[in-house]
Amino acid sequence: MNVAKVIVDVPSFAIDQTFDYEIPDRFTHVLTPGMRVIVPFGPRKIMGFVVEITDTSSFNKLKPIEEVLDLVPVLTKELLDLGKWLAHRTLSLSIVALQVMLPQVLKSKYKKEINRLSGEVLSDELEDLFQGRDVIPFEEFEASALNYQHLKKAVDAGEVQIDYIVKSKITKKFETFVYPKKEIHLLEEALHDLSQSARKQRAIIEFFIENPQEIKQKSLLQTIGTTTSTVKALIDKGLLDTYQKETYRNPYNDDAIERTDPLPLKPEQQQAIEPILASIENNEHEVILVHGVTGSGKTEIYLQAIQEVIKKGKEAIVLVPEISLTPQMVKRFKGRFGRNVAVMHSALSAGEKFDEWRKIQRKEVQVVVGARSAIFSPFENLGIIIIDEEHETSYKQEDQPRYHARDVAIKRGMDQNFPVVLGSATPTLESYARAAKGVYKLATLTKRTNDKPLPEVITVDMRSELHAGNRTMFSRLLMEKIRDCIAKGEQIVLLLNRRGYSTFIMCRDCGHVKECPHCDIALTYHKNSHLLKCHYCSYEEAVPNVCPECSSDLIRYFGTGTQRVEESLTQLIPEARVIRMDVDTTRRKGAHEKLLREFSEHKADILLGTQMIAKGLDFENVTLVGVLTADSMLHLPDFRSSEKTFQLLTQVSGRAGRHDLPGEVIVQTYTPDHYSIELASEYNFEDFYKKEMAMRRAFRYPPYYYLALITITHENHVQVVQATQQFVQQLLMKVGPETIILGPTPSPIPRIKDRYRYQCMIKYKHEPELRTFIQEVTNNFKEQIQKHDLQVIVDMQPYQMM
Ligand code: ADP
Ligand code: ZN
Ligand code: ZN
């Protein structure tokens, strides 16, 4: 067994295969599949994943593996298989499919060290190497005469562990502490000897005489009002000393979270949990769709199902959308399972994320709560995967590999025989249709646990506002309700329903809109810097004073950015205190939480924001929800726009009246008769589902048809059109007669970063060989792809149509 099959880190279409390498003696019995290695590749040395170990190769002379990066595999056997499946499903490179499963830290530069685990007795050789230290750099091991097998044995026996230290994070992980080196009476003596002019030094000594314990250097310096040089002077005198204390990068203070007990389930909850428990009990894969209105107690069902899984000694993955992974949400899981929970959130630093991932890898936790990529958690004994808000589009990755977390969850559940639970108040049509056909089990929760009715929704026709002479973006009714609410000391959530929250500039004389010179898209006006910026490339320019087309000076800003809404809101209601939440105000780490905390402490009356405020928030004092422009998404070139509008309106309505105070929702719209707005205001999912299914059937969209979107880009316009035409023709010859190929057409954004974009959309019902066909056709363009910089992007089951 001295041949390793390796997938190397060269993201190229031509190299998407395994390569054979010889395993040198020092690595036999050490190397297992799932480990990363360094191998020679041409003139370079690169990283690769060992996917298989065999004893034969069809090649004669193999190059040896240079270095082994892990002594414990970073990918389990299951994940290696999953990677294969993922690459095939999404038509991605194998290396990309494997990389996506690992935390960022393992992809960047780091230092390795060997940590001795407390209380463990080591072999004599290792004791020699450690020489009484707790930690040694990995290089010391490599320089020693010890072999890898020896070390691996110690790792497997839990005597030592290999840690990866991300270089840039070291400073964050440690803090300096200062402590007195002498007893108090000696400090007093020293004080006596210190010159009167050394005022700061004296102050520090006086401080330690009164508080003879260690203290964070930072706090000490603050208290005394001095700098490190003063401390250093005292260290030199032998009076003080410092040491580095490791502070665990735990972003959540677990001990401060109050523990909760399972609640006795309501009848509807009981019914919903039964099929889940049965599936856990029987080790049988099943997908259960929990369709429950907001506040119906879905999360409590998840918690109790997980408890069963833990009881069986198994593990659980809970996916929640990035933006609802709020401290409130984390608290509910940590409140029930305490330290048994890891949290994978993109707001964590790379080091923090890695810490959480290591807890999973080392089996220190049984539950992970996280955003999309947590679906790849390296658990080896999974008992359940739960996807909350399963309709969220953020579960689809819009970059290679273009996977949907739901598909990955079901694949893992099928292979490992455990249930997958999908929860939502507004399930996707795809999932609901599967439940209707009996492919999934359906559990329905119609009541809120507090027995309060869902808040009443009033739609306001903005056309009649305009006719009545109201040119503001706030209807009279909404104004009145907001004033009322503030007067009563209650709070308001205002949603600006826009995907782009951007403002563009347009000439009022000729209608010219300023676009990016590299991308065919309007530039966005940024008020603070007074610049026009492109959201697709980094282009920016100053705002022109006159129109570049007609020289008119009537240049105006258009679009309703949150900033502008805030301005006109405070003009109309000067007493209103507003917190604005959008990409601009939440860019900094922790800003999101801070704004939400301030709102919950009633430091503002109104929370104004984009989609990010619609999800998962739960504020006792919110009694009014206003939607400023309900229909702004309806006209986007996306067949899901009605569905998304319905989902968003339902979600945001659920933010009002969650507690004792009754809630109310005002929805402003120019199309009050549109079925998605009408039915959302009645919370009528069933009818919406029927109506929308009829549309999808008529226009041949999912769930009646599957989709594949192929985008081809090139710097030359003529070449991209030609290539896309050829692509479509070649594909048409392969697919069945019922398959439809639309295009070539220019992409909705026809040029990005100076590359022209054309696309074709494949609609199919049954085309089992489609992936192979697409690969074959792509292969015919191989030369162009390599030489002429042609790019082919395949998105199976696309969500982003723009
Ligand atoms: P959802 O996830 O469906 O929006 P939650 O799980 O957040 O609903 O439940 C809404 C509220 O009801 C929460 O405050 C929760 O603690 C409470 N709750 C859930 N189940 C029960 C129950 N069986 N008895 C009493 N209160 C419950
Ligand atoms: Zn003009
Ligand atoms: Zn641009």
Backbone angles phi, psi at 334, to 5 degrees: -70, -30
Q: How far apart are the first and last CA of the chain?
A: 50
104 burial via Cβ count (<10 Å: 0-12, 13-18, 19+): middle
pLDDT tens track for 455-473:
899 999 988 888 888 888 8
Which residues lie near ion ligand 3 (Cβ < 5 Å)? 516, 518-519, 534, 536-537, 539
- 760 in a labelled binding site: no
Mutate to test the pocket of ligand 1, among 320, 390, 449 (most ligand atoms within 8 A of CB): 449
524 Cα to the center of ligand 3, angstroms: 10
Check if 426 has its Cβ closer than 6 Å to any atom of ligand 1: no
Beta bridge mates, 513: 506
pLDDT under 70 in the chain at which residues?
108-110, 165-174, 246-255, 498-503, 558-560, 583-584, 587, 589, 614-617, 657-659, 802
Please check whether residue 130 is in contact with residue 116, taking contact to mean a CB–CB distance below 8 angstroms.
Answer: yes
For ligand 1, what atom is nearest to the CA of residue 293? 3
294 Cα to the center of ligand 1, angstroms: 9
pLDDT for position 591: 79
Quote the CA–CA distance of 87 and 586 in Å, as a whole number.
34
Quote the CA–CA distance of 194 and 720 in Å, as a whole number.
80
For ligand 1, what atom is nearest to the CA of residue 425? 3
Strands lying side by side in the sheet with 420-424: 341-344, 367-370, 315-319, 382-388, 420-424, 287-292, 441-445
Quote the CA–CA distance of 94 and 87 in Å, as a whole number.
5
- 516 in a labelled binding site: yes
C-alpha dihedral sign at 643, 648, 653, 659: positive
Which residue has the CA at smallest separation from atom 10 of ligand 1? 295
E strands present in 375-475: 382-388, 420-424, 441-445, 456-461
pLDDT for position 508: 76
- 550 in a labelled binding site: yes
71 burial via Cβ count (<10 Å: 0-12, 13-18, 19+): buried
- List the structure tokens of 1: 């067994």
Check if 444 has its Cβ closer than 6 Å to any atom of ligand 1: no
Check if 294 has its Cβ closer than 6 Å to any atom of ligand 1: yes
3-state secondary structure 279-334: HHHHCCCCEEEEEECCCCCHHHHHHHHHHHHHHCCCEEEEECCHHHCCHHHHHHHH
3-state secondary structure of 415: helix
3-state secondary structure of 54: strand
Please check whether residue 258 is in contact with residue 200, taking contact to mean a CB–CB distance below 8 angstroms.
Answer: no
Please check whether residue 667 is in contact with residue 627, taking contact to mean a CB–CB distance below 8 angstroms.
Answer: yes
pLDDT for position 219: 82
- 507 in a labelled binding site: yes
- 519 in a labelled binding site: yes
CB atoms within 10 A of CB 108: 12
- 547 in a labelled binding site: yes
Backbone angles phi, psi at 636, to 5 degrees: -75, 150
- List the structure tokens of 799: 């969500």
pLDDT for position 505: 77
394 Cα to the center of ligand 3, angstroms: 24
Please check whether residue 234 is in contact with residue 240, taking contact to mean a CB–CB distance below 8 angstroms.
Answer: yes
Please check whether residue 209 is in contact with residue 184, taking contact to mean a CB–CB distance below 8 angstroms.
Answer: yes
Considering only CA atoms, which of 655, 144, 743 is closest in space to residue 425? 655
Check if 449 has its Cβ closer than 6 Å to any atom of ligand 1: yes
E strands present in 486-564: 491-495, 504-507, 524-526, 531-533, 540-542, 555-558
527 Cα to the center of ligand 3, angstroms: 18
Quote the CA–CA distance of 778 and 781 in Å, as a whole number.
5
Quote the CA–CA distance of 193 and 182 in Å, as a whole number.
15
- Cα distances from 514 to residues 322, 334, 637, in angstroms, run 33, 50, 21
Question: How would DSSP label each residue in 33-49?
Answer: TT-EEEEEETTEEEEEE
pLDDT for position 390: 96
- CB under 8 Å to 226, separation ≥6 — which residues? 200, 203, 204
CA-based Rg of the chain, rounded to a whole angstrom? Answer: 30
Considering only CA atoms, which of 356, 326, 306, 387 is closest in space to residue 616? 326
Domains assigned to the chain: 3-102 (3.40.1440.60), 108-247 (no CATH), 254-443 (3.40.50.300), 456-500+561-694 (3.40.50.300), 503-558 (no CATH), 706-795 (3.30.70.360)
- CB under 8 Å to 704, separation ≥6 — which residues? 696, 697, 765
Please check whether residue 249 is in contact with residue 163, taking contact to mean a CB–CB distance below 8 angstroms.
Answer: no
798: Cα separation from own chain's centroid: 18
Check if 641 has its Cβ closer than 6 Å to any atom of ligand 1: no
